[in-house]
Chain A
Amino acid sequence: MKRLLYILSAVFVFSSFAPQKNQPIKSGEKLVYAGSYNMSGLMTQLAQVTMSTETVSTAKNAYLHLSCELSTYSKWDSFFKIRDIYESYVNPVTLKPSLYKRSIDEGGYTKKEKYVFKGNTVNSTVKKRKKPETQKTFTIGGSTQDVISLLYKVRTMDFSKFKAGQTQSMMIVFDEKQIPVTLKYMGKETVNAGNLGKKECYKLSIGAKTDALRGKDKNLIWLTADAKKVPALLKFSIPVGTGQLVLTSATGI
């Protein structure tokens, strides 16, 4: 259980960092990943991760709904079923979040989180299985965002101006608090990007002051070195091992 929570936390935390300029993220995008975990030296495919975007409208505003779902492959369901949803409702232009929700069901362990963003204040509500609901209000910086929206925002950054080894510090909201995250540009590498074929990518290292991540330059993300900056590969190192997310399909980009 703890191992899976670490994996999921790591995936989202290390994938999140702040942008320098904004470009609209397209509605209708769908990225599918095969999630593997290193078990005793062998990568074992465990789950499918789907990241998608769509427009959601209320009477007053239109939001971009950023969704990230994780489901274990059917062969694992009888042994350890996981159904997780991470969602962020953001301004379609600035990607500033208004609402962040997380609902996890991992082998019967459930947890629901809701973060409401109001200016520089966040109201969080957390409900864990068999525990009473807790609420918390905390202050954040002007550019602090939730982990999902930041993952999309990073794709608006212009890495062509970055030099190898260049770093940038940022802040994210994670586990009912604001935590610093550091992004390091490590140069370019060519990796397999699913149905997009082999792609030259920006290789980035992520460091966060959280127990969810371990090691120096062991939490990595490869973004296609084009205007779309699709995350093609993610590798993570956590206290209980290592794993990766490999892009298998990208549509609507």
Chain B
Amino acid sequence: MRKLSLILACVFGALSIAFTILPMDTLAFLPIGLALIFGLLTLKKSEEKEKKFPKIIVLLVAFCSLVVLGKTLVIKDEIATDAQFEQQKIETKQEARKELEEIEGLE
């Protein structure tokens, strides 16, 4: 039982780190929550001398949750200025005007 919860804590811990680095927003709380649950469960099932590793996992995951929370509160959702996209919009509009004139010519 301890081994299983330790493996799951490790797996979700690794996912927590990956999700924290990636722009997954609050979705990162999913592996973080699971890693915490299995980490704490492992701690509970561990002998005194076996507690070091699960403690590291729990602390690491707790740190991840702080980073995710900080990113959620500090980083604003905004779109980048995209010159290529802006140019595409201008060209599309010019094309459309020509196409509309062609349609009018057919009527």
List the interface of chain A (C-beta within 8 A of B): 34, 39-45, 47-48, 56, 58-61, 63, 65, 69, 71-77, 79, 83, 85, 87, 89, 98-99, 101, 103, 114, 116, 118
Contacts and interface: CB of A to CB of B under 8 A. Distances in A.
Given A39-B27, A85-B89, A48 B100 contact: no
Given A56-B93, A99-B96, A118 B24 contact: no
Given A58-B101, A58-B104, A71-B82, A76 B23 contact: yes
Contacts of A40: 27, 30
Contact of B77 (A45, A65, A77, A87): A45
Given A71-B80, A71-B82, A74-B79, 16 more contacts: A42-B25, A42-B26, A42-B29, A43-B26, A44-B24, A44-B25, A58-B101, A60-B101, A65-B93, A69-B89, A74-B80, A79-B23, A89-B96, A98-B100, A98-B103, A118-B107
Contact of B100 (A39, A45, A63): A63
Most chain B Cβ neighbours within 10 Å, of A44, A47, A79 = A44
Contact of A42 (B27, B78, B99): B27
Interface of B: 22-27, 29-30, 75, 77-80, 82, 85, 88-89, 92-93, 96-97, 99-101, 103-104, 106-107
Q: Which 4 A-B pairs have the closest CB atoms?
A: A75-B23, A74-B80, A71-B79, A44-B25
Query: Chain A at the B interface: mostly helix, strand, loop or mixed?
Result: strand
Contacts of A114: 99
Given A40-B27, A58-B104, A71 B96 contact: no
Contacts of B92: 85, 87, 101, 103
Given A74-B78, A74-B80, A87-B96, A116 B85 contact: no
A60 B30 CA distance: 58
Given A44-B25, A58-B100, A58-B104, A73 B77 contact: yes
Contacts of A58: 97, 100-101, 104
A98 B103 CA distance: 8
